[in-house]
Amino acid sequence: MEIEELPIEEAKKKGAMALFGEKYGKIVRVVTVPGFSMEFCGGSHVNNTAQIGMFKIVSEGSSGAGVRRIEAVTGHGAVEHINHMEAMMKDLAASLKCRCCDIPDRLEALHCELKAVQKKSEELTQEIAKAQVSNVADQVKEIKGVPVLVQKVQADSVDALRNLGDQMRDKVGGVVVLAAVMGGKVSILTMATKDAVAKGAHSGNIVKAVAKLCGGGGGGRPDMAQAGAKDVSKVDAALAEAAAIIEAMLK
């Protein structure tokens, strides 16, 4: 290995490689490994590895096209890093109530438990959805020959609300207006069949009008639209106005 300090222009003429994005002064340190590389300040700053002591890589990434960069701590810094990581492992083991060597197995067990709980939750959500769909018949009103269902439902996500809307629209036909409270906010969904749209129903206008009544807004297509609102206390009152809103636009 050869190390020399040269004016930057002279170093460039020799073919020394500079790293993209790095800043260099008028005099640069050039490290050459014969037959392998020549770089601006690109090599070791010690004569042998004994001067470095312990060496621990802490990160690796890209610093440019075709260039990888590693960052490491050495000597006392490496010892401090390892001590810190060991303390973190002990804290994690204490939280998981296991030995450090058992952390991987404990995490895998918790992962399996979580998956089981999630599966059970999904099954319960589906059961709730089925129950809500099966009980809609008594809630349907006919307005100018169009079946209309306006209902407050339980749903834990927008996707679940859409799925529920699809099922209810397919079951009752006509126009379906659903509202669900999620995380302290209101989500409103309106769907309409082709026949209902042909008679003047427009989901985007319906959902916009209903959402406005509880401090929100939204819109969408004639056959499907969504909206959000903040005032949970006004959801029931807003839904109570939905039938009149729909009646006003039907032919």
- Indicate which CATH number applies to the domain containing 167: 3.10.310.40
161 and 68 housed in the same domain: no
Calculate mean pLDDT across residues 105-110: 96
Amino acid at 211: A
67 and 154 housed in the same domain: no
CB atoms within 10 A of CB 47: 9
Quick one: CA dihedral 71, 74, 80, 81, positive or negative?
positive
Q: At 139, phi and psi to the nearest 5?
A: -95, -10
- pLDDT tier at 89, thresholds 50, 70, 90: very high
129 and 55 housed in the same domain: no
At 32 the pLDDT is 84
Angle (nearest 5°) at CA 16 between 60 and 43: 45
- pLDDT tier at 82, thresholds 50, 70, 90: very high
At 9 the pLDDT is 86
Among 199, 209, 204, 138, residue whose Cα is nearest residue 174? 199
128 and 149 housed in the same domain: no
Express each pLDDT in 163-175 by its tens digit: 889 988 988 889 9
153 and 119 housed in the same domain: no
Q: Model-level pTM?
A: 0.58
> How many domains does the chain divide into?
3
- pLDDT tier at 23, thresholds 50, 70, 90: confident
178 and 128 housed in the same domain: no
Whole-number mean pLDDT of the chain? 88
108 and 33 housed in the same domain: no
How far apart are alpha carbons 34 and 44 in whole angstroms?
14
Domain carrying residue 241: 139-249
At 21 the pLDDT is 65
